[in-house]
């Protein structure tokens, strides 16, 4: 898991000198991706006169539209286009109508009232050019489940195109909104923010397990900074490593290993253990500070930060600690590496003229883009499951809040507002 650099180095009593940046090429755009798929998502048909059914139709459609637009895979047709064709008949699709307004896909939604304030939502997806039915799904539930219904069927649409579904993914983070640094969880779009831990000690640096069922995090509940494992849906917490100071956990994507930083042997080093904390093994042996480990998507390599060369830089090593190599050059402060799910990029924090910004290194081309451009302090980057978005913390608004941004610097949006919020991790 990515650690806030200034926090971790302060804890470890590292004196940081004035920093500078030089000599490494910065490219401002990433040219990748594919043309967006034109998708028609007309108003849902409501087979009821109840206000609940009407509200469900509006809410689920709006959430689906936001999801699919955010994905950058689909281009939603303008609402005005629908006025040029005959009204939608869910029982008989006139494919040529939809082809005439340049739709490639058509999503048809229908809402029916059920008893006890429950609705039945049915969605169907059609291929317009091939005049084919692709798939359909049904969901039943009350108002509290409308968002989940929308996210689930949007995920199904992603999967049709071989994309990683993430609209039902969760983000864990740290917030002091209730007076103390505690773990919180929210939906990928910032909704349903929920507190997970309740204690008088500070909690930091949460990291999701590969299966999304557990969260490793640092806590001072036993005076020193120990590493703990939380099962958020069960409320169970168990210690993993409490000897010395323990920070920055990161689970491997194969679900087998957990890497973290610890001073248990007197110096900040990288350790790896089984996902339950057993069979601990030390990977680095250096007088410098080695921290912020982050697994590659293959679970065969680990990126981390080290000042072994005099200043914090990004290094890679194989999962057992061998084949060490430095990948950041130019400048004197690079930290908090985050390996993209596609495996070809690493996001990290760099400080230039006392300004912290997020950069992305392309491991294949060695090109770098500067993702954030402001006088704010931008830290703790973490990739979305599909690798097209990142979440990070920033004081852009004056207080520290969480934002998401696309891989090319577009579509900046704020997710939190209460208290100060930091150290996010996106479930996989």
CA 238, 243, 246, 250 torsion: positive or negative?
Answer: negative
Across 87-91, 168-172, 262-266, 328-332, least confident range? 328-332
Q: What is the pLDDT of residue 34?
A: 66
Q: Select 37-160's CATH number: 3.40.50.10070, 3.30.420.40, 3.50.50.60, 3.30.70.260.
A: 3.40.50.10070
Q: What is the pLDDT of residues 281-307, one digit of tens each?
A: 999 999 999 999 999 999 999 999 999
39 and 103 in contact (C-beta within 8 Å)? yes
**φ, ψ for residue 403, nearest 5 deg:** -130, 155
The residue ranges of every structural domain in the chain are 5-32+170-426, 37-160
86 and 94 in contact (C-beta within 8 Å)? yes
Q: What is the pLDDT of residue 6?
A: 38
Residue with tokens 């939604």: 109
Q: How far is CA 334 from CA 30, 168, 338, 409, in A?
A: 21, 32, 12, 19
Question: Is CATH 2.40.50.140 the classification given to domain 5-32+170-426?
Answer: no
Q: How far is CA 72 from CA 132, 171, 348, 413, in A?
A: 24, 20, 23, 15
Look over the chain and give the mean of its residue pLDDT values, rounded to a whole number.
91
pTM of the model: 0.90
Same fold, 5-32+170-426 and 37-160: no
- Whether pLDDT at 28 is above 60: no
* Residue % of the chain over a pLDDT of 70: 92
Read off the pLDDT band of 360 (50, 70, 90). very high
Helix ranges, 74-123 (H): 95-100
Q: Which whole number is the average pLDDT over 6-24?
A: 34
Nearest alpha carbon to residue 229 among 241, 220, 242, 238: 238
Half-sphere exposure (Cβ direction) of 141: Cα atoms closer than 13 Å = 12
- Whether pLDDT at 420 is above 80: yes
The number of beta carbons lying within 10 Å of the beta carbon of residue 38 is 18
Q: What is the pLDDT of residue 33?
A: 55
Rounded distance, CA 302 to CA 293, Å? 6
Q: Which two tokens stand for residue 382?
A: 């973490």
Rounded distance, CA 354 to CA 358, Å? 13
Q: How far is CA 271 from CA 246, 280, 290, 384, in A?
A: 10, 7, 10, 25
């Amino acid at each position: 898991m990515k650690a806030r650099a200034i926090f971790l180095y302060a804890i470890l009593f590292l004196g940081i000198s004035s920093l500078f940046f030089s000599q490494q090429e910065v490219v401002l755009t990433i040219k990748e991706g594919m043309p967006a798929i034109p998708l028609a998502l007309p108003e849902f048909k409501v087979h009821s006169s109840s206000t609940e059914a009407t509200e469900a139709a509006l809410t689920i459609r709006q959430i689906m539209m936001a999801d699919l637009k955010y994905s950058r895979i689909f281009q939603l047709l303008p609402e005005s286009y629908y006025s040029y064709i005959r009204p939608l008949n869910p029982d008989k699709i006139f494919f040529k109508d939809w082809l005439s307004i340049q739709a490639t896909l058509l999503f048809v939604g229908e809402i029916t009232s059920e008893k006890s304030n429950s609705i039945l939502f049915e969605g169907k997806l059609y291929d317009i050019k091939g005049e084919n039915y692709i798939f359909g799904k049904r969901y039943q539930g009350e108002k509290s489940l409308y968002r989940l219904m929308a996210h689930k069927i949007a995920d199904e649409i992603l999967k049709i195109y071989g994309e990683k579904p993430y609209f039902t993914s969760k983000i864990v983070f740290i917030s002091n909104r209730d007076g103390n640094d505690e773990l919180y969880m929210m939906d990928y779009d910032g909704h349903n923010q929920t507190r997970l831990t309740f204690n008088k000690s500070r909690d930091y640096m949460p990291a999701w397990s590969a299966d999304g069922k557990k969260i490793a995090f640092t806590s001072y509940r036993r005076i020193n900074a120990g590493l703990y494992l939380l099962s958020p849906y069960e409320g169970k917490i168990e210690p993993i490593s409490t000897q010395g100071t323990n920070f920055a956990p990161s689970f491997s994507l194969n679900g087998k290993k957990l890497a973290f930083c610890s001073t248990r042997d007197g110096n900040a080093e990288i350790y790896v253990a089984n996902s339950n904390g057993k069979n601990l093994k030390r990977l680095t042996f250096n007088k410098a500070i080695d921290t912020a480990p982050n697994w590659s998507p293959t679970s065969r390599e680990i990126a981390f930060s080290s000042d072994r060369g005099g200043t914090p830089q990004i290094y890679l090593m194989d999962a057992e600690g061998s084949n060490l190599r430095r990948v950041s050059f130019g400048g004197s402060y690079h930290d908090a590496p985050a390996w993209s799910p596609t495996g070809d990029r690493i996001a990290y924090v760099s400080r230039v003229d006392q300004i912290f910004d997020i950069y992305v290194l392309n491991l294949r081309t060695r090109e770098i883009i500067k993702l954030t451009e402001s006088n704010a302090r931008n830290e703790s980057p973490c990739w979305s499951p599909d690798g097209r978005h990142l979440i990070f913390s920033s004081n852009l608004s004056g207080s520290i809040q969480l934002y998401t941004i696309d891989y090319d610097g577009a579509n900046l949006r704020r997710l939190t507002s209460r208290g100060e919020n930091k150290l996010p991790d996106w479930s996989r």
